[in-house]
Amino acid sequence: MDRIFAPYTVYKGKAALSLTPVLPTFTKLESGNGLRVDRRGNMMMKFWPAIGERKYDWEKRQLFALSATEIGAFISLGPTDSCEFFHDPSMKTSNAGQVRKSLSIKPHQDGSGYFISLSVVNNLLKSMDRITVPVTTAEFAVMKTACSFALPHIMGWDRYTSHQRPRVGEN
């Protein structure tokens, strides 16, 4: 099966931001004909900085993978709401706590959109990055609509469909 590359990307003065759904994987049950979600899906956000007019440095990209519940917070944001999520990519390893990522979404004061910022503090590399992308109300509406559409797919619920059940009850 082909992998699909269809990110929704906004290019702004200081950075670019893209969203791409990542689907869950399934494992066959040992008992036979069943499939269980193995690795959960997410909404992958990628930020990368501008290095000139309409030029962006893909090598410096930073990633943040929204879980289903974080997508729920995202799509239920009201026009004056803000939210912030924290991730530790090294959780449950010996490097736990060394890298801290936080994603924040804050409305513009004039209601014309949102600032979406990713901060990455890396104690191992002694580095601290912060990339902010302003998005308009229209761009935010695309993100919310597309995330609402993608959420059931990320959860694996698009597999629950009658089309996949050719068997019918006895008459």
Does residue number 84 form part of the binding site for its own copies (CB under 8 A)? no
Select the span of 56-64, 73-81, 88-96, 125-133 touching its own copies (CB under 8 A): 73-81
Determine if residue 122 is left, alpha or beta; phi over 0 gives left, psi from -120 to 50 gives alpha, anything else beta.
beta
Does residue number 158 form part of the binding site for its own copies (CB under 8 A)? yes
Select the span of 46-54, 71-79, 94-102, 116-124 touching its own copies (CB under 8 A): 71-79
Residue with tokens 């962006």: 56
Question: 15-46 burial, b if ≥16 CB within 10 A, otherwise e?
Answer: bbbbbbbbbbeeeeeeeeeeeeeeeebbbebb
Select the span of 46-54, 102-110, 123-131, 136-144 touching its own copies (CB under 8 A): 136-144
Interacting residues with its own copies (CB under 8 A): 1-6, 8, 10, 21, 23-30, 33-39, 68-73, 75-76, 136-143, 145-146, 148-153, 155-171
